[in-house]
Amino acid sequence: MTDDMRFYIDGQWVDRPNAAKIPVTNPWTEETIGHVAAGTAEDVDLAVAAAQRAFETFSQWSVADRLALLERVRDLIEERSEAFAQAITAEMGAAITFSRGGQVVFGVAHINAAIEVLRDFEFTETVDGIHIEREPIGVVAAITPWNWPLYQITAKLVPAFAAGCTVVLKPSEMSPFSALLFAQVMHDAGAPPGVFNLVNGTGEVVGNAMSGHPGVDMVSFTGSTRAGVLVAQNAAPTIKRVVQELGGKSPNVFLPDADFAGAVPKGVLGAMRNVGQSCAAPTRMVVPRSRLSEVEALAKEAAEGIVVGDPNDEGCFIGPLANRPQFEKVQALIQAGIDEGAKLIAGGTGLPAGLNHGFFARPTVFSEVTPEMRIAQEEIFGPVLVIQPYEDEEDAIRIANTTLYGLSSHVQSADHEAARRVARRIRAGQVHINFPAWSAFAPFGGYRQSGNGREYGRFAIEEFLEVKAILGY
């Protein structure tokens, strides 16, 4: 990595050599690996104006032309997949095997899903004599997080392009290099000037300018619930659509007949994948009290078997947390769990054994966690799992729903009808029964303070459309 003081606006790279510099830190070495330019409200004005001009023509493109653009984007990302993986590992610390096999692969999966949906998407129909047109909403401001850099870009931008919208992107200033690679992909794929624009910078400056801009028709935001509130408040005066994917505290409910020996280790690894820095991570394991000691032993063994270390090492399962603020937050919440009297099964505060640098957290498991504890309520966003015992099925459902969030959830049971019964009562946007395969077509989004709107597949494209009714057509 090195300094890159450029934005991508109106189809060309724009140098900002005199802009304030934002340092980018490698969380493994704790060293600055480069800088990006800090954008201003004036840069946002230029990008939005370019997107508005481009919308006039791009919104009229045929489905075939949009499909061809998306296919070129996909092919170029696949060709440059190693460059993306290396950038993601350097900027946010994901283990290189996960950057390759997770971060990039799942990012491409969003493009393939949008392509497949777009081929058959009905933008017009006639219902009871009323003609319905589904039209692109306009200019979209996309604000993406640091934990899944490419994945979140493709999850937002590709459905927007499929719908015929133009986009201004602000990636996280903590993981900007993969976004700059994406900008080059858009350029090389032949996206018309203004269809895609990128302005780096902070949320306080660039994010605020985008979400409140009168020329922006919609904001698509992924990040913390706290930041999501600010985005919504800033967008409110211009009455623009705001779609948000925010925090989570996802339960993993084990019914008494579940495959504990197989599913508990999977649950531990699922909670700690990407160093636990996933809003949908199943970080609350809700289990029958009668099986608690068994669950504790299985979870302890799984957590202590996780290989933590240099993210460039192909034998590493998880690397460091993505940045120092996240490291400090995770350490503080682990200490809070200890202070509140939760039973520490594995891990704890401090660095893992044998490591003396990097923003690492020890894979940590708490048991006997009650709903009022901070570690049961707050999104830790680190490799920390809490085990919550229940007395009966009603108690399990109550515990599962006892947070402010409702993004994702899991149910484990050999009785599929029982699993379905519990799944229907969990207040969350997704429920996974017995660890099914991930799908880029399944709608993703939250209840309550986990956000509003849906991403992925058909549901994602629909978010970027307005519905027009024409009577007397």
DSSP state string for 165-224:
-EEEEE--TTS-HHHHHHHHHHHHTTPPTTTEEE----IIIIIHHHHT-TT--EEEEES-
Residue 195 lies in a domain: yes
Using 50, 70 and 90 to split pLDDT, how confident is the model at 76? very high
**pLDDT band (50, 70, 90) for residue 102:** very high
Phi, psi values for residue 29, rounded to 5°: -90, -20
Q: Which among 205, 231, 208, 209 has a CA at the least distance from the CA of 37?
A: 205
pLDDT score of 458: 96
Residue 302 belongs to a domain: yes
Q: What is the CATH number of the domain that holds 384?
A: 3.40.309.10
Q: Which residue range is the domain that position 341 belongs to?
A: 251-438
**Residue 255 and residue 164 share a domain:** no
The arithmetic mean of pLDDT across residues 243-259, rounded, is 97
Same domain, 282 and 228: no
- Indicate whether 342 and 261 sit together in one domain: yes
| 270 and 173 part of one domain | no
Q: Same domain for 120 and 238?
A: yes
∠ Cα 281 287 290 (to 5°): 160
Q: What is the mean pLDDT of the chain?
A: 97
CATH number at residue 457: 3.40.605.10
d(CA 208, CA 217): 14
Q: What is the DSSP string of 406-424?
A: -S--EEE-S-HHHHHHHHH
Catalytic residue (one of 91, 245, 379, 455): 245
Phi, psi (degrees; rounded to nearest 5) at 47: -70, -40
> Of the residues 91, 165, 173, 279, which is catalytic?
279
Residue 85, judged by CB atoms within 10 A of its CB (0-12, 13-18, 19+), counts as buried
User: What band does 351 get if pLDDT is binned at 50, 70 and 90?
Assistant: very high
**Is residue 1, in this structure, part of any structural domain at all?**
no
The reply to whether 340 belongs to the active site is no
Compute the average pLDDT of residues 174-193: 98
Q: Is the pLDDT of residue 23 over 90?
A: yes
444 falls within a domain: no
Question: 366 and 420, same structural domain?
Answer: yes
Q: Is 165 contained in some domain?
A: yes
Question: What pLDDT band is residue 2 in, cutting at 50, 70 and 90?
Answer: confident
Contact 365, 300 (CB under 8 A): yes
User: Is pLDDT of 1 > 80?
Assistant: no
Whether residues 161 and 272 share a domain: the answer is: no
Q: Is residue 443 part of a domain?
A: no
Are residues 383 and 328 both part of a single domain?
yes
Q: At what angle do helices 149-163 and 105-120 cross, to 10 degrees?
A: 10
pLDDT at residue 416 tops 90: yes
What is the DSSP code string of 215-269?
T--EEEEES-HHHHHHHHHHHGGGT-EEEEE-----EEEE-TTS-HHHHHHHHHH
pLDDT score for 461: 98
Q: Where are the beta strands (DSSP E) in 64-128?
A: 124-127
285 and 265 share a domain? yes
pLDDT in tens, 298-309: 999 999 999 999
Give the number of domains in the chain.
Answer: 2
Could you tell me the pTM of the whole model? Answer: 0.95
**CA atoms of 303 and 362, how far apart (whole Å):** 9
Q: For residue 348, what pLDDT is reported?
A: 98
* Per-residue pLDDT reduced to its tens digit, 369-398: 999 999 999 999 999 999 999 999 999 999
- 245 catalytic, yes or no? yes
Percentage of residues in the chain with pLDDT exceeding 90? Answer: 99
Asked, for residue 129, whether it belongs to a domain, the answer is: yes
Q: Look at residue 92 in the predicted model and tell me its pLDDT.
A: 97
Asked whether residue 337 is domain-assigned, the answer is yes
Q: 353-366 pLDDT, tens per residue?
A: 999 999 999 999 99
Distance of alpha carbon 210 from alpha carbon 206, whole angstroms: 6
Q: Are residues 291 and 233 in the same domain?
A: no
Cα distance between residue 441 and residue 392, in whole Å: 34
Which element (helix H / strand E) includes 468? strand 465-470
pLDDT of 47 above 90: yes
**Residues 255 and 242 both lie in one domain:** no
Q: Residues 218, 259: one domain?
A: no
> What pLDDT does residue 419 have?
98
User: What is the distance of C-alpha 268 from the center of its chain?
Assistant: 20
What is the tens place of the pLDDT at every residue in 134-145? Answer: 999 999 999 999
CA distances from 98 to 84, 148, 281 (A): 12, 11, 15
